[in-house]
Amino acid sequence: MNSRRTAKMSQAIREQVSSSILFDVKDPRVQHVTVIEVEMSPDLQNAKVYVSIMGDEATQKLCLHGLNSARGFLQSKIGDRLKTRYTPLLTFALDDGVKRSFETARLLEELEIDETTRFSDDANFSDDNETDVTEFSADEPK
């Protein structure tokens, strides 16, 4: 199948699902959801929707359950907009890329703090153990 067509379909589905979640889904479990990406199957009959959900793990599971409950409603919205022969079957998956990026940033900050303390400790150590260069001169005999 044409990859350009697949990309256009996934983009259209991402836009429709995002706006429908934001404006049309009334389920109180579905909050703080961002649609990250949509992967289409080659036959365009299945779409895997990757979402990022802000909150703890229990909140994320509850929201994912709410999204799965609203799947039929979201598929009907997609069917109304796309006007294709088949409306893709939606499956929702939690994208933990945002969580991993926060974890990576936290680790980098820890490394940066460790390096600055290590370098400041090295500077203090070298200041204490420096010998006075003026004591020894090359012109004077030892």
Banded pLDDT at 131 (limits 50, 70, 90): low
Q: What is the pLDDT of residue 15?
A: 96
Q: Which two tokens stand for residue 71?
A: 């799947």
In the chain, where the domains are located:
3-96
Amino acid at 128: D
The Cα–Cα gap between 78 and 87 comes to: 7
Q: Which two tokens stand for residue 68?
A: 């799965």
Of 127 and 85, more confident: 85
Q: What are the start-end ranges of the H helices in the chain?
A: 3-23, 57-69, 71-82, 97-128
Fold of the domain built from segment(s) 3-96: GMP Synthetase; Chain A, domain 3 (3.30.300)
Q: What is the pLDDT of residue 132?
A: 52
Residue 130 DSSP one-character state: P
Note if the pTM is more than 0.75.
no
The Cα–Cα gap between 109 and 27 comes to: 38
> With pLDDT > 90 as the criterion, what percentage of the chain qualifies?
56
Report, as an integer, the average pLDDT of 69-76.
96
The mean of the pLDDT values for the chain is 85
